[in-house]
Structure 1
Amino acid sequence: MITPRFTCSQTEESVIISIYCPSVRAQDVEIHVDETLVTVHINPYFLRLNFSKSLIEDDASSAKYDPSSGYLTITLTKENKGEEFDDLDLLAKLLAPRPSVPQPSIEVISNEPAASEDDDLAARTEALSLDRERREILQAAENDWQLPQEVPEPPLSTSIQKYYGFLDMHSGYFRHVTHTENEVNELGSDAETCTPSERRRRRSEHENKKWDEEYYMADYADDEYIRELLEWRHPHATTTGDFQYTDEENAVILRLPRKEYLPTQTQTHNLYLTLITVLFSYAYESRTTQLDPTPESAWTLSMLIPAFSALDPPCVSPADPLTFSAAALADVLVTSYRRSLAFPLYRSFILAEACRNDVGQFLSRGKRTVVRCLLEMKNILDHHEVYYVYSKVWLNDFCVWAQAYASDVVLLELGKAVTELKIEKSLIGWNLEALEAATHEAEEGDSDSDDPDSDDSSPALI
């Protein structure tokens, strides 16, 4: 079945679904409404939408097909007229499967009065049995179906295959990495078998190996162009007004996988932290190119994200998965800072600070802006013959999760925390302050040597 292009809008009393399905027969349309779930089938198209509130089919509901435009317009009545339906522009959220929560089914059986003492005893015994069964079902529901559960780590793995990517759902994408020109992959042919601790160790070693003191000092001394980059303002961080996805963006969203994600609270916490590193890379690439991607953009985006280059996303076990400590945010951003100072063309601490501020602005504007950033990254990677793999294992799922499952409240709080966070240069581990001081001394020495009135100047010999 094909998922058609569609849009949703609303009035005070109705929700209007506009579906593009050219060259179909209107009499074959099947529409089913089950409270918040609406399904539309018209061969070869199938659409299933989950709304935030209930709809009904009544005399005011209608379905009209315009063969000249190819659009089927369905009008459904709101069960409670005047209600505001949320997120009708978030197509991935509307398409996400409705979570199924099993509910205990309890049947109450009434008994006729007993005709004898034996019948009365049998009836009371049966009622007692039913009451005990009812309590057991309610206890099972309370213990098993309501409380969050963590999946225990297996004590022993008999396979050398390791998983990676979004929620560790992927494998096999780097089996033939030696036959591709993947300059981002820091694990080489071991990408499929490296443990998380080994990935982190290799990543850190690679960063230290690529760190170049002279390169950093040169960019620190000659920072005229970097200053120009700092003055640029990202439109996603400054644009005001109503947000609306473009037709091209909606088309990409409709091609994303239809998945239901059931992460634990700790996994969700780590997804938000990974999102920070992804947006930092996007902020660096877009700031240094001013939203005009170059042939190097795919490499830059992938190299600056540890979850891409080393398959090493942030992995912490917080005491409270619903909060983000300043220490945890600093640890995550320090990795992004280090990579921005070790690999790309412009290596500047103040540039990294500007990127951190951009990330805070993106997060503060909510899931719509975040998804737009992710879609722009995905567009760059999808058009690269090698690095498209990182869209497969990370960005596709991230786009769906961010739109359908991420919380605007959490993103707002996270954006504020990232904006206010202070990253000390000492946390980077490469003696940045000493290098900057040495650069200042060298510049002052050069200026003194060029001064004709300096004490070190010697009279010319005649």
Structure 2
Amino acid sequence: MPITPLFTLSQTSTHILLTLTLPYIRVGDAETLIEGKRLSFSCKSYLLKLNFDDELKDTPENPVTAIYDPNVSNGTLTISIPKSVPNTNFKDLDLTTKLLQPKIPKVYRPKIEVIDSNDLSGTDSDDEVFESEVSVLDHLENIEEQERSETKYGFNLGFSNEFRKLREELREISSVDLDLVGWSEKRRIRLALEKSDFDKNRYQSDYFLNTPKFLPHNPEGPDMLFTSSMSYVPFYLDITSQLTSLKLSPTDSTTLTKIPNTPQTITSTYPLNLGLTSLLFSYMYDLRLTAGEPNVESAWNVWKLSAVMCYFESYHSERDGVRGVLEDCCRRAVCYGYCRSWELCEKVVEDLIVVVKDRRFVLKCLIEMRGIFERSETLYLMNKFYLEGYLVWVQGEEEWGEFGGEVEEVWRGLGRDFGRFRGGLGLGLREAEEEVDKSIEDVEEEDEDEDEDEDEDEDEDEDEDEDEDEDEDEDEDEDEDEEADEEDEGED
């Protein structure tokens, strides 16, 4: 079976430059074929087929040229392909997996022209059409419920029976047999564990340490890790990334080339977006916690904070919704995160709103996540189950950014309902914070009472000192009078 070579793409105003890593080849065996928007390259053991959005050309007057350098990566071939129309900007050259996908034309429903508005006998009424549409929707919902009850998991519910193949590895990352437990039971188990695992004392401790109003009672100051997490500026908030369109690095593009481009039948993108929200939140929490330098704990952090990866949660429709996913994300952050701070949760959601609107921000995060899991002895399976599927899908998804607007709308729309949102976590966060507030108020009142007692004691001491001084003055006056009388008697 031919090997897909590693490659990168760039462009000038007139040419597309394709750089291929081909160690130890015979250049004479290489062949390049241009057919409109399609490019095919073949060499012994290697085959590459790319599909562009714009036309290329190969003519005797302006032919394809190639240069081979055996000293770079044991062999690098750079092919220069003329553009059919000079100055055309070829888009998404860094999304290599997308270029490897064949261009499948979209199928549109034929437009219907109304030629007569009169009601014709034998035609369906609006009520009949409506009932037909409702029955179709009901049928789709039944299929959806059936899928949710089955033991499928992973990206686009594309996996099942993996426990039989990878029993030992999966035992270490899931306490639930995924091949025996359906989605509803998994969710019930997860929610029960989150509630029981919530450490109220730990949450109150972090709340006390990291809340500015408590600093007078906290001589050691806030947790340094929390402070650095809140002040860290990730790449997607860097002003240079905001002013210029982020492009994936050649290393990132090479990573995308290595990902298997497995065909997927996707009926709805909304569940995928909900799952993506869970993945991104957990990654961005760890990104802030580690200041952009993942450590040995990062794989566990990212996995543990995501209900999708840790419990193979599957969000399947608008009934789960953005709000439900955000609740799960924040709940797991205050249950299992290192810094169990609601303020940090809010910061990460703000990051999420920025990232999910931009395809390349999302891809950059997913690529970094893939690298984190790749270095893990057991959690590398997350790449197989989720990351690789998402990396392929995000590149090929035509409409991007609308879901990001929905995430922002839901988060901003909480407004006065924000307290109810926190209450929906079922952990009693507000009550826990109020207990800390009350205890600090009691301490402050005790301090005030002690200060008043000290002031009273000082006043009493001052009064006693004044009385003693007056008594001493009176005694001195009496002694002086007695001495004067004795002197007068002596003179007599």
TM superposition score category, shorter chain reference: 0.7 to 0.9
Deviation at 1:94, TM superposition (A): 0.9
Bigger mean CA offset, 352-361 vs 418-427: 418-427
Distance of 1:401 and 1:9 partners within structure 2: 22
- Listed one character per residue, the Cα deviations across residues 5-63 of structure 1 (whole Å, up to 9, x for unaligned) are 21222233332222221322222122222322211111111111111122232121213
Which structure has greater helix proportion?
2
Name structure 1 gaps, 5 residues minimum: 104-147, 319-326
Q: 1:288-437 to 2 correspondence within 5 Å?
A: 288-317=289-318, 328-364=321-357, 366-405=358-397, 407-410=399-402, 413-414=405-406, 416-417=408-409, 420-422=412-414, 423=418, 424-437=421-434
Count of matched residue positions in the alignment of Structure 1 and Structure 2: 401
Change (3 A) 1:316 1:151: closer
Aligned to 1:277: 278
Change (3 A) 1:245 1:287: same
Are 1:300 and 1:344, in contact at CA under 8 Å, matched by a contact in 2?
yes
Matched, 1:168 2:166: no
Change (3 A) 1:228 1:73: closer
Deviation at 1:208, TM superposition (A): 1.0
- Listed one character per residue, the Cα deviations across residues 118-166 of structure 1 (whole Å, up to 9, x for unaligned) are xxxxxxxxxxxxxxxxxxxxxxxxxxxxxx9x978669989x9722100
Q: Which amino acid aligns with 1:380?
A: I
Matched, 1:256 2:249: no
Are 2:195 and 2:426, in contact at CA under 8 Å, matched by a contact in 1?
no
Aligned to 1:442: 439
Are 1:97 and 1:260, in contact at CA under 8 Å, matched by a contact in 2?
no
Q: Which amino acid aligns with 1:72?
A: L
- Listed one character per residue, the Cα deviations across residues 73-112 of structure 1 (whole Å, up to 9, x for unaligned) are 3233333443321111111111123337799xxxxxxxxx
- 3-state DSSP class of the match of 2:42? strand
Change (3 A) 1:418 1:259: farther
Are 2:98 and 2:396, in contact at CA under 8 Å, matched by a contact in 1?
yes
Distance of 1:178 and 1:76 partners within structure 2: 49
Change (3 A) 1:303 1:101: same
Match of 2:64 among 62, 70, 80: 62
Aligned to 1:231: 231
Distance of 1:33 and 1:385 partners within structure 2: 43
Larger radius of gyration: 2
Length-normalised TM-score, structure 2: 0.74
Aligned to 1:72: 77
Change (3 A) 1:181 1:93: closer
Distance of 2:405 and 2:203 partners within structure 1: 33
- 3-state DSSP class of the match of 2:79? strand
- 3-state DSSP class of the match of 1:48? strand
Q: Which amino acid aligns with 2:440?
A: E
- 3-state DSSP class of the match of 1:384? coil
- Listed one character per residue, the Cα deviations across residues 351-404 of structure 1 (whole Å, up to 9, x for unaligned) are 10001011112123x111111111111111111111111111001111121123
Bigger mean CA offset, 382-391 vs 10-19: 10-19
Deviation at 1:181, TM superposition (A): 8.4
- 3-state DSSP class of the match of 2:392? helix
Distance of 1:330 and 1:66 partners within structure 2: 54
Identity over aligned pairs, percent? 25
Are 1:184 and 1:299, in contact at CA under 8 Å, matched by a contact in 2?
no
Aligned to 1:87: 92
Bigger mean CA offset, 274-283 vs 70-79: 70-79
Alpha carbon RMSD of aligned pairs, Å?
3.2
- Listed one character per residue, the Cα deviations across residues 192-251 of structure 1 (whole Å, up to 9, x for unaligned) are 221111111111111111112222111111112234421222123224235333343233
